[in-house]
Amino acid sequence: MKYIKLIKLLYLADRKSFLERGRTITTDCYVSMEHGPVLSITYNLIGGTHRQTDHTWERAISTVDDFDVKLNNPDARIKLDELSQADIEALDWVFAQYGHWNRWKLIDEIMHKLPEWTDPGDSMSPIDYLDILKAGNISPEDQARIEEELNSLTTVQELLVLPDW
């Protein structure tokens, strides 16, 4: 699969999960790039510019010629125990809807029409979670609740990070 298509499908599944449940699948950061919204860390993993200490990505997925990604062992059973049933359903729904589309149709007909996306040209610009919630017509009350939950999670994650000694 072309890596740009993979990133777009993952973004759509993450977005769907976020709008329906107030939780993302990937906990990735979102940015606008020339070809639409992108999962920033995933994009860097595919490009090999993000260091991952347990090398899970490198063991499972390889970037190959012509902007493709592939499973390193397609016959291996993928561990799905960290995904909820709702995560799997969001991924399945997005793949059923758009998995057969080529990357350019996906970009032109879906990604460039998402309200949270702005064309940054040759650069990138962050997409705030609130922009996605507003684009999804989430009520201001629910937006505030979700934002509070996200801030709480961020605070807990910061408290759990061990210092570099």
Tens place of pLDDT for every residue, the chain, 165 residues?
888 899 999 999 999 999 999 989 988 889 999 999 999 988 888 776 655 555 566 666 666 676 677 777 665 555 666 788 999 999 999 999 999 999 999 999 999 999 999 999 999 999 999 999 999 999 999 999 998 888 887 665 555 554 554
As given in the structure block, the two tokens for residue 116 are 């949270």
For residue 87 the two structure tokens come to: 């995560």
Which residue stretches of 25-139 are H helix? 40-47, 56-60, 85-98, 103-109, 129-135
Residue 129 structure tokens? 């979670």
What per-residue confidence (pLDDT) applies to 111?
96
**Cβ atoms of 112 and 13 closer than 8 Å:** no
- pLDDT for the residue 165: 45
Name the residue ranges covered by the structural domains of the chain.
3-160
Query: Long-range CB contacts (< 8 A, 24+ apart) of 12-17?
Result: 12/94, 12/98, 12/110, 13/87, 13/90, 13/91, 13/93, 13/94, 13/95, 14/39, 14/90, 15/114, 15/132, 15/136, 16/90, 16/93, 16/94, 17/86, 17/87, 17/90
The Cα–Cα gap between 49 and 71 comes to: 19
Q: Is 93 exposed, middle or buried (0-12, 13-18, 19+ CB in 10 A)?
A: middle
Q: Which amino acid is at 45?
A: L
CB atoms closer than 10 angstroms to residue 7: 25
User: Rounded to two decimals, what is the model's pTM?
Assistant: 0.82
| Residue 17 near residue 86, CB atoms below 8 Å | yes
